Amino acid sequence: MNNNNAQQKVIVVGGGIGGLAAAMSLTRQGIEVQLLEQADKIAEIGAGIQLGPNAYSALDALGVGEAARNRSVFTDHLVMMDAVDASEVGRIDVGESFRKRFGNPYGVIHRADIHLSILEAVQEHPLISFHTSTRIDNVEINDDGVVVTDTNGNQFKADALVGCDGVKSVVREQLVGDAPRVTGHVVYRAVVEAEEMPEDLRINSPVLWAGPRCHLVHYPLRGGEQYNLVVTFHSREEEEWGVREGSQEEVLSYFQGIDERPHRLLSLPKSWKRWATADREPVESWGEGRATILGDAAHPMTQYLAQGACMALEDAVTLGEAIRVCDNDLEKAFRLYEEIRIPRTARVVWSAREMGRLYHAKGVERQVRNALWAGRSQERFYDAIEWLYSWNVENCLKHPGEK
């Protein structure tokens, strides 16, 4: 309980989508936030991101829905194609009936644009101060608060701490102490101008070409002026989590036997960035005392459901709601937040792995995959994704099935 009427202060470590969203959510409960980011400026990488209707619900609850909507492209379908014979495997209509069912659209947006949509609100907020070039390397949790120390020896004190410091979280290292699971799956991402995109592939939908042990995705950005390209494959190398420059030669070596329609896309980017990906096995606890974690620090996941950032946004809103219903008792609120978020995000982590298996199927698995959704009605698709997309601020503290 916040029983001394003093202004509550929380430290948020990390200025990614999760950290910015957490900062906004905390201020909505009257809490002052110190946002600590290791980079010298708060920014996002040049690539796209897909946002489900649950993400727009969260953005609305944070007060930045309109800014994000104005920068989004709302898509018509989610399409899966077989990359070997270019046959259609499945198609979900995300138009009018989808929006009506889930209360929000399915969108795609440049990562810099979603980040900026939250950052603008953070920068204007009188309760938020942020410190760049501040890399945290130690966390101390006491009965009455937290002390974090950066690599220059500067100390920051507050009533509580939320670690939003990504896949290799230092905060998680101290609170949980487990290791990420390197998947061995490598992702290349690039953005190309619309005029470079083959005309027949300028489609207003995320289109996924599923190939054996690899897949490729494209979708429009910024009013269709650009296209995001993402390719993924099972690496032959021993991978370590991280980002480096990639090479077209490597990409091409993994996409042999792929139909010419998607294959043409592999030669378009002039430079590629290469991510070796990781997730983590879900755990039963994310924190202790007045410390917890959020976003990729809490539940890094493979990108196959396009939900990592959506989950970080949901986390942030849920954390704020937990604080509200716990009357600003931060320790109690953090445990309530974890009780609700751990099982939901674990389901997403495991479901994403399963989707990856479908995307990369070969042989008989591929045949089964291609027959899986044949003739399925849109209503049945919607029923199957209801658990994921129907999240909103009103139901965020409910357990599954609770009315």
Work out how close the CB of 10 gets to ligand FAD at its nearest, in angstroms, rounded to a whole number. 15
Residues between 220 and 239 that touch ligand FAD (CB under 6 A) = 230
Q: Which residues contact 4 (CB under 8 A, 6 or more apart)?
A: none
Out of 67, 89, 164, 266, the only residue in the binding site for ligand FAD (CB under 6 A) is 164
Out of 71, 99, 125, 135, the only residue in the binding site for ligand FAD (CB under 6 A) is 135
Q: How far apart are alpha carbons 110 and 73 in whole angstroms?
A: 9
Annotated catalytic, 219?
A: yes
Of the candidate spans 82-90, 93-101, 309-317, 371-379, the one that interacts with ligand FAD by CB under 6 A turns out to be: 309-317
For residue 254, give the nearest of 303, 185, 304 by alpha carbon: 185
Q: Does the protein bind ligand FAD through residue 8 (CB under 6 A)? A: no
Q: Does the protein bind ligand FAD through residue 293 (CB under 6 A)? A: no
Structure tokens at 255: 């996409």
Structure tokens at 53: 């209707």
Measured from the CB atom, the residue of 301 and 326 that comes closer to ligand FAD is 301
Q: Does the protein bind ligand FAD through residue 14 (CB under 6 A)? A: yes
Out of 227, 233, 254, 275, the only residue in the binding site for ligand FAD (CB under 6 A) is 275
For residue 41, give the nearest of 126, 134, 118, 166 by alpha carbon: 134
Residue type, 378: Q
Q: How many CB atoms lie within 10 A of CB 382?
A: 18
Measured from the CB atom, the residue of 200 and 237 that comes closer to ligand FAD is 237
Residues in the chain: 403
Angle of helix 378-389 versus helix 330-359 axis, rounded to 10: 150
Q: Does the protein bind ligand FAD through residue 289 (CB under 6 A)? A: no
CA dihedral 173, 177, 181, 187 (to 10 degrees): -10
Out of 10, 11, 12, 17, the only residue in the binding site for ligand FAD (CB under 6 A) is 17
Out of 307, 345, 370, 392, the only residue in the binding site for ligand FAD (CB under 6 A) is 307
Out of 8, 25, 29, 38, the only residue in the binding site for ligand FAD (CB under 6 A) is 38
Work out how close the CB of 106 gets to ligand FAD at its nearest, in angstroms, rounded to a whole number. 11
Name residue, tokens 């509200």.
Answer: 324
Q: Does the protein bind ligand FAD through residue 16 (CB under 6 A)? A: yes
Q: Does the protein bind ligand FAD through residue 158 (CB under 6 A)? A: no
Work out how close the CB of 3 gets to ligand FAD at its nearest, in angstroms, rounded to a whole number. 31
Residues between 54 and 83 that touch ligand FAD (CB under 6 A) = none
Q: Which of 106, 188, 219, 304 is catalytic?
A: 219
Q: Does the protein bind ligand FAD through residue 49 (CB under 6 A)? A: yes
Contact 294, 319 (CB under 8 A): yes
Chain centre distance of CA 130: 22
Region of 399 (left: φ > 0; alpha: ψ -120 to 50; beta: rest) is: beta
Out of 107, 145, 166, 246, the only residue in the binding site for ligand FAD (CB under 6 A) is 166
192's enclosing H/E stretch is strand 181-193
Out of 10, 59, 170, 276, the only residue in the binding site for ligand FAD (CB under 6 A) is 170
| DSSP conformational letter for 157 | E
Measured from the CB atom, the residue of 258 and 348 that comes closer to ligand FAD is 348
Q: How many CB atoms lie within 10 A of CB 153?
A: 8
Q: How many CB atoms lie within 10 A of CB 64?
A: 23
Contact 345, 54 (CB under 8 A): no
Measured from the CB atom, the residue of 178 and 379 that comes closer to ligand FAD is 178
Measured from the CB atom, the residue of 10 and 187 that comes closer to ligand FAD is 187
Catalytic residues: 219
Q: Which residues form the interface with ligand FAD (CB under 6 A)?
A: 13-19, 36-39, 49-50, 135-136, 164-166, 170, 187, 189, 230, 275, 277, 295-296, 303, 306-310, 312
